Amino acid sequence: MSIATVNPANGETLKTYEAMDEEEIERRLQLAEATFRTYRTTSFAERARLLNRAADLLDEDRQEIARVMTTEMGKPVKQARAEAAKCAKAMRWYAERAEGLLADEEPAEADVKDSGASRALVRYRPLGPVLAVMPWNFPLWQVVRFAAPALMAGNVGLLKHASNVPQTALYLEDLFHRAGFTEGCFQTLLIGSGAVDDILRDERVRAATLTGSEPAGRAVASTAGEMIKKTVLELGGSDPFVVMPSADVDRAAEVAVTARVQNNGQSCIAAKRFIVHTDVYDAFAERFTAGMKALKVGDPMREETEVGPLSSERGRADLEELVEDARRSGARVLCGGERPERPGWYYPPTVLAGVTREMRIHREEAFGPVATLYRADDLDEAVLIANDSPFGLSSNVWTRDEGEVDRFVRDLEAGGVYVNGMTASHPALPFGGVKRSGYGRELSGHGIREFCNITTVWHGA
């Protein structure tokens, strides 16, 4: 795979980069290891000062880096600016809270005495260089939500970013350097996916985190397992969006449109399967389809654009194959479903009804602005449909019935349940999934502790 910026709005190759050779990779691994030995001893106050400076610089760069992201992967520029702002917010959140999140923990006095100790505590210590294999769809946010907690914990980062967002990847390295972090604290590796295995096997790399496809996750997990290294995986998702009779159907339909097409529909946590109680199915389907039809599709650099192109020609072809398979098997296309005649890798907002278990789109993740509608006779059937997926990243539930909320929270197989709203990540809330959506958690205190050596300290009486 080439490392290049290819504008998905017109298919034009703007910049290409040579992959780093073995000598340069070795230099950077040596630098990461050497830097960790000293950076791990820095104070939380010093780390926070540097991370806050990075947040300030990112705010200053917001317009420029937003245009770079849009050029590289096609998200509407307004959403790209919001992504940059969210990253700065997360940096400040961890800068302010990391010391408290990683403070020493002392067991109950009775338990300490029972262990035969005069004192005992749990201390969180950094692991070392962490390899991050990151995707293109949120090219800043996916990296920052790893880097901010990792750096505040005293680790150093090695970024292998997606090969179609090299300018964003290089910007991130430069951002942390300009903020005052020493060179080895955060390094971008311009490499293809084929080089990941050797780097992960290197003893200087202590752990890895990956956000991406299921095959990529399997490969990293397999190597890390062989080498006995900690990993966190955030993989695909096909999140359910359940609407029950007591819900505000108008509001649910309005939010459902945003939940499906955010980031041009290329989001693991985008709602993809809309499971609607039969009593409100027709009303929801009408409003939701009308909302999808009304979206403004076009040049992602224009402020009014709501849906831009998909990130790649291959990505659009994969999405088309899922839609065509469903259509051949009897699904009804309520809107969209046809490639537009224009330059770039555009695909229209599409709604499919009558989807069955035999269709590929029922089991596979549709990474683009395509929604599937299901009818459920009652809560039990809604839960059954929602859980009939290999994925379990997040979920959305619309109901005013607290008893139903309790049932959904208890029974849905997902890493999150969002009630009367859409799934969104926030620094204070743990993020991750179950089943084939991966394991481990990012963000919150859970995320910063994932790459720590949780150390028992015991003092004799």
What is the b/e burial string over 421-456, where b = at least 16 CB atoms within 10 angstroms of the residue's CB? ebbebebeebbbbebbbbbbbbbbbbbbebbbeeee
Q: Which of 268, 335, 364, 452 is catalytic?
A: 268
Residue 365 catalytic?
no
Which pLDDT tens digit goes with each residue over 33-76? 999 999 999 999 999 999 999 999 999 999 999 999 999 999 99
Q: Is the pLDDT score of 9 beyond 90?
A: yes
Plot region of 197 (φ>0 → left; ψ -120 to 50 → alpha; else → beta): alpha
Contact 209, 130 (CB under 8 A): yes
Cα–Cα distance measured from residue 397 to residue 250, given in angstroms and rounded to the nearest whole number? 14
Supply 189's token pair. Answer: 């590796």
How high is the pLDDT of residue 160?
A: 98
**Mean of the per-residue pLDDT values for the chain?**
97
Contact 259, 241 (CB under 8 A): yes
Q: What is the mean pLDDT of residues 17-41?
A: 98
Which pLDDT tens digit goes with each residue over 221-258? 999 999 999 999 999 999 999 999 999 999 999 999 99
Quick one: what percent of the chain has pLDDT higher than 70? 100
Sequence letter at residue 145: R
How high is the pLDDT of residue 1?
A: 59
How high is the pLDDT of residue 461?
A: 79
How high is the pLDDT of residue 2?
A: 86
Q: Which of 33, 83, 234, 365 is catalytic?
A: 234
Could you tell me the CA-to-CA distances from 32 to 40, 126, 158, 207 in Å, in that order? Answer: 11, 14, 8, 13
Residue 381 catalytic?
no
For the full predicted model, state whether its pTM sits above 0.95: yes
Residue listed under structure tokens 């980069």: 17
Q: Is the pLDDT score of 206 beyond 80?
A: yes
Q: What is the mean pLDDT of residues 317-338?
A: 98
Q: What is the mean pLDDT of residues 150-165?
A: 98
